[in-house]
Amino acid sequence: MTCILIGEFMKFKPLHDRVLIEVLDGSEKTAGGIIIPDTAQEKPQEEHERRISNLAQAYQFAENEAQNTLNSSQQAFIVSELFVLSLHKLISTGIDDERYKPGEYRDNPKGQITRVGDADHGGVYKPPQAHVDIKLLMGKLVEWLNSDEVISLPSLVRAPLAHYYFERIHPFNDGNGRVGRLLEKTLLIASGDKYAGRGIDRYYLTNIDNYFSAFNLSRNNEQNAPETCNYAFVEFVLKGFDETIERMHHRANKLMEHFLILAWLGDLLRDKKINQREHVILDYLDGISEPIKQIEIKRLPWYKELYRRYSPATESRDWQHLFNDNLIIKSESGVVGLNPFKI
């Protein structure tokens, strides 16, 4: 996988605060161009809720389109400009911001320059400014993504490439990051990688600095290492897929363990090997993630209510029963927990 993108390499030259695009032959590499996902500014609560609602609708639309591909005989999801514009329209509708033109590419007037990025993550750059330039690049991107060469790539490679090069064009005033991630997710779900597509957002959120750094490393490598320039971003995303799947696997194991413990506790209660109060204590210990001392449990409101009508002798007898039957274990420091060997 070389760094060739959008069919032909393109060269950007500033021209009176605009951008002139000169299409070059395949022997020359891109110089300039830019992107990194836009950084969100703080928005009023009402607008914030609207953005969340819009994003939910866009996610549903993307999943439906992806599912249509899965249900058809198509080899892969065919990207179109209409699909990209539809995603942007869905996330932008109803936003009280004069910059917004839902479902329309950016077209900066003379004197208004869009810059993206920051000095801490590879620098600040100017993406193409004029609508005609953005339209041309998006057409080339769609053509390239639907080419036999790119469709034949694994979806775990094609999807982050689509994400990366879309962000380089940065075609909208706002919402580029959301649309880029939705495009990536659509390609993944359409190829059957449903859970990787749904879980990757958390990885981006918790690794946002690395996201920007990988993005700009790939961009800078267009000159430093043109044959492998997009590798940094693709490898970053692939690492995210790996971590996402591992996290989901861990959560599935924990959920299965929890269900087994619930069944075990239910059997103990049904067979009258524990009483209802002891069941509550064991159920609490199953649900916590941090170690806790016995004395700390006794201070909790629910525990005090549990034994409010019972004598200290009854309370002591319940604990002693749990210890004697090895249902719970206690460390020298007083920390108590379920005995894993009894489950």
DSSP for 296-333 reads: HHTTSHHHHHHTTTS-HHHHHHHHHHHHHTTSEEE-TT
pLDDT bin (cut points 50, 70, 90) of residue 22 is very low
> What residues form DSSP beta bridges with 25?
none
- On the CB side of 97, CA atoms within 13 Å amount to 20
Secondary structure of residue 20 in the 3-state scheme? strand
Q: Count of CB atoms within 10 A of residue 248's CB?
A: 14
Q: Name, in order, each residue with C-beta under 8 angstroms of 116's C-beta and a sequence gap of 6 or more.
A: 34, 35, 36, 37, 38, 124, 125, 127, 170
| Assigned architecture for domain 10-247 | Orthogonal Bundle (1.10)
pLDDT tens sequence across 266-287: 999 999 999 999 999 999 999 8
- Start-end of H helices in 191-340: 194-206, 208-224, 231-270, 276-287, 294-297, 301-306, 312-324
pLDDT bin (cut points 50, 70, 90) of residue 44 is low
Annotated domain spans of the chain: 10-247, 274-338
Q: In this structure, are residues 190 and 70 in contact, taking their beta carbons and an 8 Å threshold? A: yes
pLDDT tens sequence across 138-160: 999 999 999 999 999 888 899 99
* Residue 291 phi, psi (nearest 5): -60, 145
* Residue 10 phi, psi (nearest 5): -130, 145
Q: Give the distance, in angstroms, between the CA of residue 320 and the centroid of all CA atoms in the same chain.
A: 47
Read off the amino acid at residue 198.
R
pLDDT tens sequence across 241-275: 888 888 878 888 888 888 889 999 999 999 999 99
